[in-house]
Structure 1
Amino acid sequence: MIITLTLNPAVDVSTTVDRLMPEHKLRCAAPRYDAGGGGINVSKALRRLGGSSLCLFPSGGAMGALLEQLLAERQIEYRTLPMSGWTRQSFVVTETSSHQQFRFGLPGPTWTEAEGESILAELRSQAGPVEYVVVSGSLPPGLPTDFCARIARIVKDLGARLVLDTSGEPLKQAVNEGVFLLKPNVGELAALVGVDKLELDEVDDAALTILEKGGCEVMAISLGPAGALLVTKEAAESKTATRRGILHVSAPTVKKQSTVGAGDSMVGGMVYALQQGWSYEDMLRLGVACGTAATMNPGTELFHKDDVERLLNWINQQAGSAFC
C-alpha cells in the first residue's frame, strides 16, 4: 500500500484573464477547481497511471468539504482528520495576452499541538503492509520544524520507505533522521548542503555528500527543462573514478502551459514505478515523462496518460540516458 500525506492541502482555483491591470475590474474565465497540495497531487498522479493509494490529509470548513468532494469524484481513496481552521485555497491566473502565469498561495490554518499529534497517531495506526509513505508539500503554520523527522521515524517503525518532497529546515531535519528517496530541485539541494547556489556540474557531488552521510538512499534532483538527475546509494559507495549509480535523463521539449503540479507528477510517476518493481533507471524516466506531461496542460490539471506514454517513448529512444 502507498500512503500519501498532505499536511497543507488546498483547493486549487485556476482561471484566465486577458491582461492583469491594477485598479481595474478584471473579467475572468469560468474557474476550474481541483484538489491540491503535494501528497494529494501525487495520489491523483498515481490514479491516472492506474495505481492506487490512501490519501491522508486534514480537512476543515467549507473548503475542506469541497476538497473531499473533488477527490471522491476522482474515485481516490482518502481519509481525513478534522481541523479547527478552514482548508486553504490557492489561486492561479494565466494572462492570455502574454501566456504568463501568476500563482497565489494562501497560508494554511495554524495547527494546534493536538492536531499535529493526531496526524502522527493516524500514521502510526495504519494496519496492513505499507510499502511507501509519500510526504509532499509545505508544512502549515504551527507545526514544529522536526515534524517530517518525526514522520521519518514512524515510517521506519512501519517497515515502509519514506519518499519526501519538501524544503527548508523541515527537509534538513528529516535528512538527519534518514529517508529513502528525496526529490529536491537544485535550489533546495543547494540549501541542504549549505551553499547559495549550485552549477549543473556540481549537483551530483552535492547529492553524494547527502547520500554518503546516510541522509537518503536515492535522490532524484529536478533540473527543470534540463530533466532530472538520479544519484543512488551505489554511487555513494563506489570508490572508483567513474561512479556507477548516477543517471541523467533529459526532458522532452514541449509547449509549456503550466508548471503547477509538475514536481508532484514526477514523484507520482517514480513511486508508481517503484511499486511495480521497475529499475531506478526506468523509475526516473517515467518520473520525467509525468512531470513534463503535466506542464502541457493549463492551470492545475496535471497530466494525461497518453501524453506520458508518448513522452516516455521519446525518452527511451534517446542516447546517453543510461547509468554511468
Structure 2
Amino acid sequence: MGASQPIRSKPILTLTVNPALDVSTSTEQVVSVHKLRCSASRLDPGGGGVNVSRVVRRLGGQTLAVHTAGGATGEAYRRLIVAERVPSLVVPIEGSTRQNFTVDEATTRKQFRFVLEGPRLSEAEWRACLSALASSVPPGGFVVASGSLPPGVPEDFYARVARMVHEGGAHCIVDTSGVALTQALAEGVFLVKPSRRELGEHFDTVLDSTQSQVDAASALVATGAAEYVALTLGGAGAVLASKSGVIRLPVPPVQVLSTVGAGDSFLAGFVLRLAQGRPAEAAFRTAVAAGSAAVMTPATELCHRDDVERLEADLPAAVWLPG
C-alpha cells in the first residue's frame, strides 16, 4: 500500500495588526507589595491571527501569517515565528511590539493575565497592512483577520479588510470585539467567531439562556452579516449557526490548565477543515476539539495535534437542527 497523499487545501492567510510577545511564568502566591519569586519564563509569539497560523501548521495545514513587528520585542517575536516554521509577511512599524504577561498562581491554580496596549500605528503603517493584504489575498481561499486593534488604527479597519477580501474572491473570517466587530458585520463576512460576551455586547444584551444564544447567532445569519456564526461558550460548549440551521456541541471533559489561545485554536481547526473541503459540521467538530485541547496545555501553549484528534473522535455527531 503506497504512502498516504497530503490533503489538498485551499490557501489560508491570517492578519494580525496587534501581535504580542506572550510571556508566561508561575509563582506560589500573588501578593501585593512583596517581591514574587517566579519560575522560568516561557515566550510565545501570540496574537489572534498568528496563533491561528501556528495551530494550522500544528494540525498539518499550510498558512501565511501577515503581521506587524517593531523594536526589540518585534525582533524576538520574528525569531520565535521562524523557529515554529510559520511562513510570514512582516509589516515593519516604528513602535515596539507589545508584550502580554500571564502568571499562574500555584497555591490556588488561578491565572492572572495582563494584556498590554499595543504601539500606536501611524496611518502609513496601518495602510501598509492593508497593502500587504491586498497583494496576498488568495482567490478562493480564506483570510482570518483576528485580534484587537492597536491605537491609531480606525475602528472600521476590519470592515475595510472584509471588503478587500470579498473583492479579491476569498472568504473573510473575523474574530474581534466591540465597535471593530460591529463595523465588520455591517460590511458582511463569511464567518465570525464571537464569545458569548462579545455577541451580547453587539446586541446590547446578556445572552444568559440557550435560546437567546441561538437567536442572536441566527439573527446575524438572517440579516446577512455572516454566513456562519461560531459562538463559543467556554465550558458550556459552542453553537454554530448558518442558513442550514443550528448545531450545538458540548466540550469534552478535560482538565483545564489555561484558557489562553483556546479561541484561536478553535478557529484554526474550523478554517483548516473548511480549506480542506470538509463540510461546516465536520469543521465545527474539529474546532471544538482544538479549543478543548488548548485548555489542556499550560500557560500560553496551544493545542497539540494528537490531543485534537483524540478528542474529536469522542465528540458526538454534529447535526443541523432548525434555528
- Letter of the structure 2 residue corresponding to residue 175 of structure 1: L
Give the Cα–Cα distance (whole angstroms) in 2 for the partners of residues 126 and 65 of structure 1: 23
- Letter of the structure 1 residue corresponding to residue 129 of structure 2: I
- Letter of the structure 2 residue corresponding to residue 183 of structure 1: K
Kindly report the root-mean-square deviation, in angstroms, between the aligned alpha carbons of the 2 structures.
1.2
Where do 5+ consecutive residues of structure 2 fail to align? 1-10
The within-5 A match list for 1:65-144 is 65-126=75-136, 129=139, 131-144=141-154
What is the SS of the residue equivalent to 1:3?
Answer: strand
Please state if 1:191 is matched with 2:201: yes
Percent identity of paired positions between Structure 1 and Structure 2: 46
Pick aligned residue for 1:26 from 27, 30, 36: 36
The within-5 A match list for 1:150-169 is 150-169=160-179
**How much does 1:233 deviate?**
2.2
**How much does 1:130 deviate?**
5.3
Please state if 1:323 is matched with 2:316: no
- Judged with a 3 Å threshold, the aligned counterparts in structure 2 of structure 1 residues 312 and 126 are, in CA distance, closer, same or farther, namely same
What is the SS of the residue equivalent to 1:180?
Answer: strand
TM-score (norm 2): 0.94
TM-score (norm 1): 0.94
What is the SS of the residue equivalent to 2:229?
Answer: strand
Aligned to 2:294: 294
Poorly superposed stretches of 4+, deviation over 4 Å: none
- Alpha-carbon contact 2:23-2:101 (below 8 Å) kept: yes
Give the Cα–Cα distance (whole angstroms) in 2 for the partners of residues 292 and 127 of structure 1: 30
**How much does 1:114 deviate?**
1.0
The within-5 A match list for 1:127-276 is 129=139, 131-234=141-244, 245-276=245-276
What is the SS of the residue equivalent to 1:162?
Answer: strand
**How much does 1:256 deviate?**
0.3
**How much does 1:208 deviate?**
1.7
Give the Cα–Cα distance (whole angstroms) in 2 for the partners of residues 307 and 140 of structure 1: 33
Count of residue pairs brought into register by the alignment: 311
Give the Cα–Cα distance (whole angstroms) in 1 for the partners of residues 305 and 142 of structure 2: 22
Please state if 1:63 is matched with 2:73: yes
Give the Cα–Cα distance (whole angstroms) in 2 for the partners of residues 37 and 272 of structure 1: 18
- Alpha-carbon contact 2:218-2:241 (below 8 Å) kept: yes
- Judged with a 3 Å threshold, the aligned counterparts in structure 2 of structure 1 residues 128 and 187 are, in CA distance, closer, same or farther, namely closer
- Alpha-carbon contact 1:3-1:130 (below 8 Å) kept: no
- Judged with a 3 Å threshold, the aligned counterparts in structure 2 of structure 1 residues 254 and 128 are, in CA distance, closer, same or farther, namely closer
Pick aligned residue for 1:42 from 30, 39, 52: 52
What is the SS of the residue equivalent to 1:217?
Answer: strand
